[in-house]
Amino acid sequence: MPTDAFQADIERLEEHIVQRELASHTPDETCLFGFRDAVERAMGILAFAPHTCRRSEAHREFRELIVPFGQGGCVALFAIRGIDVVLLAARDQHEIDHR
């Protein structure tokens, strides 16, 4: 269950990917689709094994899911509330912490 903040973070990351590709000498027109596929595949883990993801160092009650993509990827911050997984935020792997 994504929050508005998580969705805004994903949109920010997508915009960053588009801008990076536009600035590239060899832009990949399918890059954004690849990112979305990577996020979707990673979210599949949360459907059956959310407890396997590492705890957030900054917020021990939350967990982080690594979403590998290209040379980096992103990190999704989430909480387990009963049987629900609540997606709270997302950041580039190179950013220091979730906003």
**In the chain, domain spans:** 4-92
In sequence order, what are the residues at sequence separation of 6 or more whose Cβ sits closer than 8 angstroms to the Cβ of residue 5?
88, 89
**Whole-prediction pTM value?**
0.84
Q: What average pLDDT does this structure show over 19-36? A: 83
Question: Per-residue pLDDT for 97 more than 60?
Answer: no
Q: What average pLDDT does this structure show over 66-74? A: 84
For the chain, the farthest-separated pair of C-alpha atoms sits apart, in whole angstroms, at: 48
Rg of the chain on CA atoms, in Å: 14
Q: Any idea which architecture 4-92 has in CATH?
A: 2-Layer Sandwich (3.30)
Reported confidence tier of residue 59, pLDDT bands at 50, 70, 90: confident
* Phi then psi dihedrals of residue 79, to 5 deg: -125, 145
- Measured between alpha carbons, how far is 50 from 77 in angstroms, rounded to an integer? 11
What is the pLDDT, as a whole number, of residue 54? 93
State the pairing for strand pair 63-69/54-55: antiparallel
- Measured between alpha carbons, how far is 60 from 83 in angstroms, rounded to an integer? 19
